[in-house]
Structure formats: structure tokens, C-alpha cells
Amino acid sequence: MFKNAFGFFTNIHCHVGGGTNNLKNKLYGSGCLVSEGIVISALHIYERIQEEYDFGIILKNDGLFRAEPILIFKESDIIILKCIEKLKVQNLGEVNEYPPIEYPKPFIGTSVGYIGNLQINNERLKSKQATFFTQAFISSMIYSNEDSIFCALSGGVIQKGFSGGAVFTVDCKLIGIMTKRLSVFSHPDEMSGAKYELPIMVPLFQFQDKINEII
């Protein structure tokens, strides 16, 4: 069902990390290329980069670019980055189509796919970064004190490298960005119940107008 959407978003999926002036870098999370040179990701990734590295980097296919923030929604953990300088190669890869700029509103029960970076460790592959796709559904809506909206997803998996990755509908629409996980306990007494980790998505419709001004 998500075959076409997965292929589409794999093509605009990118890595977000930190770099140094001698081009040493480390990847921290994911991002989604929403127009030429413009990437949406999770703010907490960039905040971590600032603590350890000289600048942010965007890696797409064989392209490595220096990036700087152009728009931040702090309460919602969203950052929009712009590729401003080529560090290694000529372009961001063959990207001919971007997601529609009209982001759908989320509803409980909506089936979504999401994509992120996964660290694979086994005897044959040793340690290797891979792009991972999974499917889930929106199970609850969370409203913060700052009037920000978040959605909890059920039925999927969550890893550190998923932060900042695209969450999308079956008809190839970008609905949100992955952010931090939520810990849920099966019993009101946290000490006696099982602990579950739920992926959390930030719906992008709440920033529609401001994002449209950029892209």
C-alpha cells in the first residue's frame, strides 16, 4: 500500500549531522528535502550538533552541504535548514519532485509511513547506516501548554536515527516530522507496569503559512 510513497520519500530523505572545518562529521538524525536546498528536521538534532561541531551538514546521496537554520519552531522541536555551501560534490542528487506544500491535518486512526536512519550491526554487515521504512497509525493527539500539537504513533518502531524523518500518507503527502519518543506505562504505578516507547510526530499543517513563505 505504501510502496509508491516509500519510493518517493526515500528519494528526498537525507541525513542531518555535524561537521568540522577538516570535514570530519557525524550523522545524528534524519531530514526531509521539501524544496531545492531546503530541509525540515527535528530541532533537538541541531541543538546537539551545536554543542559538538562547527556547523551543521546535510548529506543526500553523495552530496555533502553546509547548512544553516532559517526557521525554528522551538516549542514543537522543528527546524528548517538551508544548504548554503557545497563541501564535497556537485548537487543533492537526482530530485525532480518534492512533496505537495499543502500538509494534511492528522486524525486518530490515520495510517502513516515514516522513514529514518537505522544503524545495522551483524557479522556480515558489521556496522552500517541504512534507510529504514516502517508503518504505523495515529493513536492519540497531544496538545502542549504552548498550543503545539503532537501525535503519538502506534504499531511502528522508533530508533535514535529516526528523529527528523518524514512522516507521510499513502498518497505521498508529507504530514509530519518525527521527533522525540514518548514513554508510556501499562499501569498507573510506573514501577509495576511495563514501559513502552511510542514514536511522536509533529504535524506540519500548524506551520503551513510560515513554511510556504520559504518554499
Question: To the nearest whole number, what is the mean pLDDT of the chain?
Answer: 83
All 3 cell numbers of residue 186? 501499562
pLDDT above 80 (res 68):
yes
pLDDT above 90 (res 127):
no
Give the mean model confidence (pLDDT) for residues 29-56. 91
Q: Is residue 122 part of a domain?
A: yes
Please, which residues bridge with residue 128 across strands? Answer: 120
* 156 vs 44, residue with greater confidence: 44
Burial 84-122 (b: 16+ CB within 10 A, else e): eeebeeeebeeeeebbeeebbebeeebebbbbbbbeeee
pLDDT above 50 (res 120):
no
Closest Cα partner for 55 from 45, 68, 44? Answer: 68
Give CA–CA dist 136/152, Å, rounded: 10
**127 and 172 co-located in one domain:** yes
* End residue of a domain, out of 39, 63, 98: 98
CA distances to 141, 184, 195 from 188, in Å: 20, 10, 11
Give the mean model confidence (pLDDT) for residues 14-37. 85
pLDDT above 60 (res 208):
yes
* End residue of a domain, out of 40, 71, 98: 98
The DSSP code for 212 is: H
Q: Is residue 1 part of a domain?
A: no
Give CA–CA dist 213/70, Å, rounded: 11
* End residue of a domain, out of 54, 76, 98: 98
CATH number at residue 138: 2.40.10.10
Task: Please state, as a whole number, how many other Cβ atoms lie within 10 Å of the Cβ of residue 30.
Answer: 28
**131 and 153 co-located in one domain:** yes
pLDDT above 80 (res 63):
no
Range of the domain at 39: 13-98
